[in-house]
Chains A and B, each alone.
Chain A
Amino acid sequence: MVKNPSESGVSALGRVGTWVATPQLRIRLGIRIILVVAVLLFIYYVSTAPRFFSATNAINVGQRTAPDIILAVGQTMVIISAGIDLSVGAVVAFAGSLASVAYCYWGIPVGLAILMGLASGALLGLINGLIITKGRIPDFIATLGMMVTARGLGLLLTGGLPVPSHLTALTLKAYLPPEIIWLGSGTVLGFPAGPLIALAVVILGWVILKHTGFGRAIFALGGNREAARVSGIDVDRTKLLVYVLMGVLAALAGLVLTGRMNSANALMGDGMELQSIAAVVIGGTNLFGGEGGVIGSLVGALIMGILRNVLNLHNMQDFAQRVVMGLLIIGVVLFDQLRRRYGG
């Protein structure tokens, strides 16, 4: 709080100026100005970006952001339960690679291959959950370990090569099935499939959090673990389920990503865990758990996706884009803190 004795007697400013008469109100005004400036800047760059307002570009942004949105929904639930999952980027890569390897090299039918991918995500999530609940290891450490492990498993599985890899310079050893490619680049009645899947996941997440007992248990667990337990909630089971769900969603994101790139590899999805956490935080979910929601995370993921696209259209180089994204995350959280403290 800003306190200055000389400012407590400012009634001299009179009725006209009372709305900026106290430091709190002045900060509140400042917060609003920053918000307006930020929005205007965003609109300016969007509107001056070459070819931003075209159907092709909209589809492009949607397809690129879809895996991020799917991850952000899972990460929202994890963070509301007062956890964090650092392994999701690695699970994206492993599950995408596993489904591709299973179909391309092991000759497993496409439906089963996709199921194997999703199941591997569930299994890795389950292992995360078991380490955290039974082993009583902090979420951060357990999933950090899984992040490294799953990357390693993916590299072992693929031999470090893209799947499918090349037989000669021009021909591939095998081809990805159209079903997986459809997940990333197909359409439904003209709408791109990836964003539709992401939207379905957002709705699923919203229903779970707002309308189910499981969702209520997630909030209770993150808000006050001890009180949740004393109220009869099986906190370990809740946490376990949250991580399994996260694992499945990460695997789904991996399949969508594989489909969009028309290829899987064990190093894809690098940094996606941090992007998903950033989307959740930008969306207003409390990083300490207990409050938040998936709609905010959807907005958070979209803001990041659109910004990345706009910077690309403006031909900003990738290295500089990283700086901008990093500053965006810090700025949004700082802004949110100020808003919480001073209102407005």
Chain B
Amino acid sequence: MSVSVEPTSVDPSGKADPSGKQSATATTTASATATEELRPHAETAFADELAALAAQDDRPRPARWRMSPWAVATYLLGGTLADGTVITPKYVGPRRIVEVAVTTLATDRALLLLGVPGTAKTWVSEHLAAAISGDSTLLVQGTAGTPEEAIRYGWNYAQLLAHGPSRDALVPSPVMRAMAEGMTARVEELTRIPADVQDTLITILSEKTLPIPELGQEVQAVRGFNLIATANDRDRGVNDLSSALRRRFNTVVLPLPESADAEVDIVARRVDQIGRSLDLPSAPDGIDEIRRVVTVFRELRDGVTADGRTKVKSPSGTLSTAEAISVVTNGLALAAHFGDGVLRPSDVAAGILGAVVRDPAADRVIWQEYLEAVVRERDGWKDFYRACREVSV
């Protein structure tokens, strides 16, 4: 189950998170109520805020930017403008990260957002593009099957056969359009794209030009063009960036939620949303179990127990927030269909095992060590320990 979550994008008023890639819940953001779309673009959903920021902004703007870098940072981090307009925080996390990201784009270097699944990479990149260029739709989705045409240009074959090669027969890619118009292009999941296709970006990023040898022409990037890529560096089956390409990016790593409470909150919220869309009964006492799952994930991920007293080994899996959500959802389904509807340790134990033990040899030892050294001694975790022992053997 692929679940997407934008952990740090939850706005404090408790409104539903409008960002999930496949979230079924309609956004409740005020400015988006008129739309019928399942999920409006950032520039539509937050049009009011963007307009207010642009109007108030008197700082110098880089060429073709809708607002100054400072205003972009405010748009993402939230704040109150001079005229009293409240900007909701889009990203709740270290200020430093947003500042480095915006500054990178202002120095016409490409930006690479790294992080494990569920750290709001896509969310940040969408809002950056919306704030800087007013358009977050110039998007290339990276997959194992992304062809070169998706990054450079394709041909309209009917036109090509009828009239021969010409600019009319050319189908520009989002990147090409961004270059021509001085906009911000986005590449999602850069590391999923095959290595040879990735390297197409090198010329674009270093020479800022895209040759079209068939026509003997080229498209030169105008000022204001830039590119934001997102990538996940801890997953399996990714194509590492070549050092030549990597050199063209400034890298910003988006961290996982800082505190356990924040993460529990995110997991509970998302589980609730997903559960409703799957018509699962909500579990009244589930929060303790969610806290436990999050604690286990965080401890294994950080390599140290929550009280900071004992070190543990980290398994090879990413143990992202998104996985914690899927473990809990799974457990809920188990409890609803095969149990008494109350989320119990035995419902999540198998899911946790599956998430932790990715490498059967090494991870199993790590998990057992964790069970024996940490879980067994912990107050109130007896049931959980027993449940884990049962599924581990």
Interaction A to B:
no
Give chain A's interface residues, CB within 8 Å of chain B: none
